[in-house]
Amino acid sequence: MSVIFESTIKMADGSKEDWYIELKDTVDDRVEICADLSEYSKKVEELGTDYGGNIDEVRWMKDDNVPLPIMDNIRFEMSKLQKEIEEETGKPLIGEES
């Protein structure tokens, strides 16, 4: 059984600025709504504990109505979060596997 999470960036109803991430555990179809990347990070960790922290893949998607400036901002925030985590743990999140 592969543990795959699907993360979809969506816009809040009627908003051109407010976004959220819909996080879906494809093993049991649980869905979590995350208002920001900090909440997303915590939810991924919480869902991952059910599988001993072993997540095989995280698939990223976005709805068609998510504007490019929103995506740019999310990418920037993700990059900052990745750097913080890597500095905290002392190892890269992406790339080399042991």
Tens of each residue's pLDDT in the chain, 98 residues:
799 999 999 999 999 999 999 999 999 999 999 999 999 999 999 999 999 988 999 999 999 999 999 999 999 999 998 898 889 888 887 765 54
Q: In what order do the strands lie in the sheet with 4-11?
A: 30-34, 19-25, 4-11, 57-62
CA separation for the pair 63, 4 (Å, rounded): 19
**pLDDT computed for residue 95 by the predictor:** 67
Who contacts 18 (Cβ-Cβ below 8 Å, separation ≥6)? 11, 12
Taking each helix axis from N to C end, the angle separating 37-49 and 68-89, rounded to the nearest 10 degrees, works out to 60
pTM attached to this predicted model:
0.86
